[in-house]
Amino acid sequence: MLEITSPCAGVVAQILIQPGDEVPISDPVAVIEASDEAVTSADEAPRAPAVDMAGVRGQGDTSRVDDADERVVALSPVRRRIAENLQWVADHTVRAATTIEADLEPIARLRERYGERFRRTAGFALTPLPFVARAVCVALPSFPDLQSSIDLERGEVRVRRRINLGIAVAHEQGLRVPVVHDADVMPLVALTRAIRRLVEGVRGGTLDARDSQGGTFTITNPGALGSAISSPIMNRGETAILSLDAVEPRAVVVDGTISVRQRAFMTLAFDHRVVDGGTAIAFLRAVERHLASAELASEAEAWAEI
């Protein structure tokens, strides 16, 4: 039973719904005949009888109201759109995933070396995300299947040449995925700035439609929220998504010696109709190798020029 408070004093003249009915949130459920007597206290106001709302749902809501401890919340347009896209991915792809524990100690050292200078000049913290994004852009050309889409009816796999990198951003209305277009031609500094602009745009509501269109590969960063290991879901129209979890110090054996290094789980979810497991693992290892490369370290020296 769900008790619905009357907007005025009076008696119930007619109940407009029956148990099990589905009604929009804004629809009336009863007719109240207002009382002529003034009510001076909320405690003195006569109450309409409770309406049995078991099975009654708000329009677009998937939960049921079974007792007074539950409430119905209508899906927002944004949440509905997210749900539709995720359902499409579930219905039209064959999802698989693989995970490696990546060594991010080289990135930790770069952040330690340049992080304070970067914060002073750029005004925000230097996180692992742009390093991983840059490594992904370097690795992707060697793994074109991760940038493809499959058309079973035509018997075709279409491989995209441009790397338009989606960056998943948490938002109170639902996860958003703005896109860094032509991310592969951006050096590390430019990519860092582009990602920051998108994050601020999502949170400030200043992005336009183009900023969320044309993605070819996505990175999600639940590690920033403290996740240990994640299982990401691909975006509609894409074949793969990489998840970066929390970067933490862990004891590992390096050259026969126990050492404490910064490590993180990286997971690649992919459409198994196009991408095989071996390809997915090879891609993740290629990303890890670039994170430790002299090339990336050289690019990081540009922090001094910001």
The verdict on 105 and 159 lying in the same domain is yes
The verdict on 198 and 66 lying in the same domain is no
Q: What is the pLDDT of residues 248-277, one digit of tens each?
A: 999 998 888 999 999 999 999 999 999 999
Q: Which of 44, 74, 104 is the last residue of a domain?
A: 74
Domain range for 292: 82-305
Our count of domains for the chain comes to 2
Q: Over the chain, what is the mean pLDDT?
A: 81
Looking at residue 300, what is its pLDDT?
79
Looking at residue 289, what is its pLDDT?
95
Q: Which of 40, 74, 108 is the last residue of a domain?
A: 74
Give catalytic status of residue 103 as yes or no. no
CATH of the domain at 123: 3.30.559.10
Residue 42 tokens, joined: 């909320």
The verdict on 60 and 92 lying in the same domain is no
Give catalytic status of residue 276 as yes or no. yes
Q: What percent of the chain has pLDDT over 70?
A: 76
The verdict on 67 and 97 lying in the same domain is no
The verdict on 168 and 245 lying in the same domain is yes
Q: What is the pLDDT of residues 237-256, one digit of tens each?
A: 899 999 999 999 999 988 88
The verdict on 188 and 113 lying in the same domain is yes
Which member of 52, 61, 184, 272 is catalytic?
272
Which member of 151, 255, 276, 290 is catalytic?
276
**Cα–Cα distance for residue pair 1/65, rounded to 1 Å:** 8
Total-model pTM:
0.74
Q: What percent of the chain has pLDDT over 90?
A: 45
Are 186 and 194 contacting, i.e. CB atoms less than 8 angstroms apart?
yes
- The separation between CA 111 and the C-alpha centre of its own chain, rounded to angstroms, equals 25
Residue 30 pLDDT exceeds 80? no
The verdict on 89 and 55 lying in the same domain is no
Residue 298 DSSP code: H
Residue 213 pLDDT exceeds 50? yes
The verdict on 266 and 126 lying in the same domain is yes
Residue 260 tokens, joined: 């404490």
Looking at residue 129, what is its pLDDT?
95
The verdict on 269 and 145 lying in the same domain is yes
The verdict on 90 and 180 lying in the same domain is yes
Residue 176 tokens, joined: 């958003």
The verdict on 43 and 116 lying in the same domain is no
Q: What is the pLDDT of residues 82-97, one digit of tens each?
A: 888 889 898 888 999 9
Residue 301 pLDDT exceeds 90? no
Residue 237 tokens, joined: 């129209």
Are 287 and 242 contacting, i.e. CB atoms less than 8 angstroms apart?
yes
The verdict on 45 and 178 lying in the same domain is no
Contacts of 36 (CB under 8 A, 6+ apart): none
Q: Which of 42, 74, 106 is the last residue of a domain?
A: 74
